[in-house]
Amino acid sequence: MKKAIAVGIILLVVVVAITWYVFSPRPSPVIVGPKIELRQSVHGSRVPQDVNKQPLSDVSNPVPAKKSEVILAPEQTNSTQETNHVSFPNMTESNIAKNHKTETEADIQPMNAVSQNRALEIARGAILKTKYASTLPITIEDRNGQYRVKFPVDKSVPPGSRYRGPDYAAEVYIDKQTGKVLEVHVGD
Amino acid sequence: MTKANYKIRATSVDNTNFYDEVNLSVIKVDLEASKNVLTLKHDRECNLEVKTVPVDISADQYKIEIKRTNSATWYTLSTNKTMTPWLANIAGGFHLRGMAKIGGTECYSTNIVVVNQFPTYTQIEGDADVRSATDTEWTNTLTDCTETPNQRRERGFWLWINTSSNVYEHDAVVTGDWVGPDDGASVNLPSRPTDVPADPAPNATGAGYYVASFHTHTPTTYRTVGRGVGPSGADNNADTADGVPGIVYDYVESPAGSNSIPMGYPKNSAAQRYLSLGYERRGTP
């Protein structure tokens, strides 16, 4: 009889232990790797027009964002990816600017676009030894998918005279996507 | 006017049997001009004639006078009945009038308006003397451009009309700095010089008027870069500031439609004069 009672207690303990093991909460696993920061795409026209019509305070019906940019660890390449996180509707640009980081020109360039600094390097190579007024600013215009890098010329003249000469020492047109030099103009 | 002579009878209101009579001749004086808009040098002849009605009336004296439209002072152009032609040698907007002295009375016409304007770019550029002078400086520009040393420079001058002799002349040639193959070339002309005299009388026989700038561009024969052709924005701005058309001597574009010439372009390739705006013509003072 005593033996039967002992076996019953052991079985009860085993059942309780199994039940506890099955239904008890467990700690989350640790993820090791670069920190990924999701940034809401809220700048300017990237906010859909129909979303803009909703009141700012209406957060009960959030609208999924179309696209977000992902800022990766410094050693990784900047890229974009589709996500399903939410954005709050009807945030005007001015509202957002107070609380969120504003995108820079470099942020919104298409993938693989040549940066302005790179365009300047390319342009310097393209004008060969053409001299320009190094004390004056070099201008870079970004339009129609091209950079126009303009190297200045000194137009200062003695009093009572008028400068008749080139508008620039040189200007270089560069394809913004490929970095290819499209045209080089030298003033005269 | 069909009737020039009238008899005027005045009857006494106290006694209607009495009256006095006076003969009245109505005389009209007109100044006729063959044109109202003239151009210095190129279209400067205008026939003027003082006409009276009746036409057979005998005048003791005639006079044709001129004044600037913004002045009250009249100047005598002629003491004859006609000027065939009157030469428009002074630029500006003027009033002209005729006078006939009849029976001791000076009878004046109404004023007519005449404008003497400066020539256009096309007229200046097409003038034989201008072409000769600018061709010479283009040739000199080509001569200045050498491979050893590798240098070149622009040349230019101010063009003016001597309305006394009715020819185009130019000031001393101005040369730009010598530049090497890696530099852009330019030339600094003085601001438009003052006319001589600065404010001539309307009836003066002539004056010197600065009407256009001129300068050359340089070859790319010994350069490693090509360039655009024709006036630059800075050229246009200078001529706009001076209020004149500019003439720029430069190569004809090559290839067609490129608006440029390539590096190493042969010196003696086709060249032409370009209009640098500025203005199509200097404004009338």
Residue A32 lies in a domain: no
Residue A9 lies in a domain: no
Angle at CA A131, nearest 5°, toward A126 and A136?
100
Q: Work out the mean pLDDT of chain B and round it to a whole number.
A: 95
A123 and A93 in a common domain: no
Residue A23 lies in a domain: no
In degrees and rounded to multiples of 5, residue B10 shows phi and psi of: -115, 120
pLDDT of residue A188: 77
Region B254-279: what's the mean pLDDT?
95
Residues in B touching A163 (Cβ below 8 Å): 186, 188, 234, 238
Residue found under tokens 């001589």: B196
- Which residues 184-203 of B have a C-beta within 8 angstroms of A? 184-191
Residue A7 lies in a domain: no
Chosen from B145, B182, B216 to mutate, greatest number of chain A CBs within 10 A: B182
Q: Which amino acid is at B171?
A: D
Under 8 Å between Cβ of A123 and A149: yes
Q: Number of CB pairs < 8 Å for A and B?
A: 87
Provide the ipTM.
0.84
Under 8 Å between Cβ of A184 and A170: yes
Region B163-183: what's the mean pLDDT?
97
pLDDT band at B103 (very low <50, low <70, confident <90, very high): confident
pTM of the model: 0.72
Region B1-29: what's the mean pLDDT?
86
Residue A85 CA to residue A94 CA, distance in Å, equals 22
Residue A137 lies in a domain: yes
> B184 and A188: CB-CB below 8 Å?
yes
Hey, what are B66's tokens? Answer: 């001129």
**Number of structural domains chain A divides into:** 2
Region B40-44: what's the mean pLDDT?
98
A176 and A125 in a common domain: yes
Q: Which residue in B188, B226, B232 is closest to A166 by CB distance? A: B232
Residue B273 CA to residue B173 CA, distance in Å, equals 17
- In order along its 188 residues, chain A shows pLDDT tens digits of 567 676 677 777 777 666 666 565 544 433 333 333 333 322 322 223 333 333 333 333 333 333 333 333 333 333 333 333 333 334 333 333 333 444 455 555 556 689 999 999 999 999 988 999 999 999 999 999 999 999 999 999 999 999 999 999 999 999 999 999 998 888 87
- Write out pLDDT tens, residues B183-224: 999 999 999 999 999 999 999 999 999 999 999 999 999 998
Under 8 Å between Cβ of B224 and B263: yes
Residue A110 lies in a domain: no
Residues in B touching A136 (Cβ below 8 Å): none
The domain in which residue A88 lies consists of 37-99
Residue A19 lies in a domain: no
CATH number at residue A125: 3.10.450
pLDDT of residue B58: 87
Chosen from B137, B159, B175, B188 to mutate, greatest number of chain A CBs within 10 A: B188
Exposed, middle or buried: residue A3 (CB in 10 Å: 0-12, 13-18, 19+)? exposed
Exposed, middle or buried: residue B228 (CB in 10 Å: 0-12, 13-18, 19+)? buried
- C-alpha closest to that of A161 among B279, B210, B158, B278: B158
Residues β-bridged to residue B28: B53
pLDDT of residue B273: 98
Residues in A touching B246 (Cβ below 8 Å): 164
Query: Quick check: B45 pLDDT over 80?
Result: yes
Residues in B touching A130 (Cβ below 8 Å): 182-183, 225
Residue A163 lies in a domain: yes
Q: Which domains does chain B have, with CATH numbers?
A: 22-117 (2.60.40.10), 121-276 (no CATH)
A171 and A121 in a common domain: yes
